[in-house]
Amino acid sequence: MNASAGSLPAPRGAPLARDRRGRWRELWVSAHPTARRVIIAGGVITLFFLVLAIAAPLIAPYGQAQFKGIPQLQPPSAAHPFGTTNLSYDVASRVVFGSRLAFEVVVLSTVVAMFAGVPLGLIAGYSGRKIDRVLVTVMDAMYAFPALLLAIVVAFALRRWVGQGVPAAALSISVVYVPQYFRVVRNHTLSVREETFVEAARALGAGPATTMRRYVFPNVIQSVPVIFTLNAADAILTLAALGFLGYGVRVPAAEWGYDISKAISDAGNGFWWTSLFPGLAILGLTTGLTLLGEGINDLVNPVLRRRGRRRRPGEIIPARGVPAVGPGEAIR
């Protein structure tokens, strides 16, 4: 008698939700101290910019587009800590409000790319055959296209239907990162679908959708946080490039890349502050997200963990190519 898909027992080896939470705790505790410090440093920097984004109306001394009553090209002072621009904007206020815009666009774009790329990667890796070939061909073509040029083309096309705003900027950036999620998830799915517990689920009568959802997806999802944070860091640069070239969010919204483009002539005339502080903001948030992503990668990547992890009592550190065996475990 075949068991129904809704009442299938979990085959041995299939991780449960509490097992995944315990695994993350174990990864954190057993991680190399350097990896933990990298994650903490990246988290603190990212959290700092997140606080700026959330509390922007309370922190910024002026509005993001306020110019009345603000002197033009005034150097940093008590009234204007980061100085003012040639359009009579307060640089500090633009930097603070720019962090809010950056998080809105980056989070939306990476989430859209994740929700598009992960299911497609699962379907292609598990189904194989014609569906896999078609999706791989499409994604490889998108991946081979220069990222910034692809974002510009999509942003230009979206102007007619969506307009020049946060949704258009986010969608144009998300197209760049869909192939990355697809490729990573598909490659992991190709290996996981041959595992014993997946074969056991199919033998118990689980359909393709149930097998992918309950037994394949939990084993490939651990790589997604790494891609998410690293893509978010790269999306900051892509957003700044779009704003610099005039394809970003509609002005006068505070956007770091746009502010730098308007400050090019100022730097040559000695007004260094109009481009310095937006540039430092881009550098700071990108660095924080990159550190966070690299630190998480050190946690979940078994090769990196084996190189730098601490030895546990009773554990034998194997030679390269030999699986590690902990206390009380047997080689299978």
pTM value?
Answer: 0.79
Percent residues over pLDDT 90 in the chain: 38
What's the whole-number mean pLDDT along residues 313-328? 39
Please state which architecture CATH assigns to domain 30-308.
Orthogonal Bundle (1.10)
Q: Which of helix, strand or coil describes residue 73? A: coil
Enumerate helices (H) and strands (E) in the chain, giving the number of each: 15, 0
Distance of CA 37 to the CA centre of its chain: 20
Is the separation of the CB atoms in 290 and 233 below 8 Å? Answer: yes
Q: Which residues, at least 6 apart from 316, have a Cβ–Cβ distance to it below 8 Å?
A: 324, 325
The predicted structure's pLDDT at residue 285 = 95
CB proximity list for 126: less than 8 A, separation 6 or greater? 189, 193, 208, 211, 212, 216
* pLDDT for 53: 94
Whether 179 shows a pLDDT value over 90: the answer reads: yes
Q: Is the pLDDT reported for residue 305 higher than 60?
A: no
Any idea which residue has 């499409």 for tokens?
A: 138
What is the C-alpha separation between 278 and 91, in angstroms, rounded? 8
Mean pLDDT of all residues in the chain?
A: 81
pLDDT of 241: 92
pLDDT, tens digit (0-9, with 9 covering 90-100), for 102-137: 999 999 999 999 999 999 999 998 887 888 899 999
Residue burial 98-109, b: 16+ Cβ < 10 Å; e: rest: bbbbbbbbbebb
Residues 6+ apart with CB under 8 A from 186: 120, 121, 122, 124, 125, 132, 135, 136
- In angstroms, rounded to a whole number, what is the distance separating the alpha carbons of residues 318 and 303? 12
Phi, psi of 83, rounded to the nearest 5 degrees: 85, -170
Q: Which pLDDT belongs to residue 323?
A: 39
Longest dimension (CA), the chain: 82
Binned at pLDDT 50, 70 and 90, residue 330 comes out as: very low
Q: Is the peptide bond before 313 cis (omega within 30 degrees of 0)?
A: no
Is 171:132 a contact under the CB 8 Å cutoff?
no
List all residues 6 or more positions away from 319 whose beta carbon is below 8 Å from its beta carbon: none
Cβ-based burial of 8 (10 A; exposed 0-12, middle 13-18, buried ≥19): buried
Return the pLDDT at 279: 94
Q: What is the 3-state secondary structure (H, E, C) of 240-258?
A: HHHHHHCCCCCCCCCCHHH
Helix (H, G, I), strand (E, B) or coil at 77: coil
What b/e sequence results for 270-304 when a residue is b if at least 16 CB atoms lie within 10 Å of its CB, and e otherwise? Answer: ebebbbbbbbebbebbbbbbbbbbbbbbbbbbeeb
Domain boundaries, the chain: 30-308
DSSP string, 93-130: HHHHHHHHHHHHHHHHHHHHHHHHHHHHHHHHHHH-HH
Bridge-partner residues for 84, per DSSP?
90
Written as six digits, the tokens of 326 are 């902990």
Residue of 296 and 107 predicted with greater confidence: 107
Whether residue 324 is predicted with pLDDT greater than 70 in this model: the reply is no
242 near 234, Cβ under 8 Å? no
Mean pLDDT to the nearest integer, 30-34: 76
What is the model's pLDDT at position 19? 60
Q: What is the pLDDT of residue 200?
A: 83
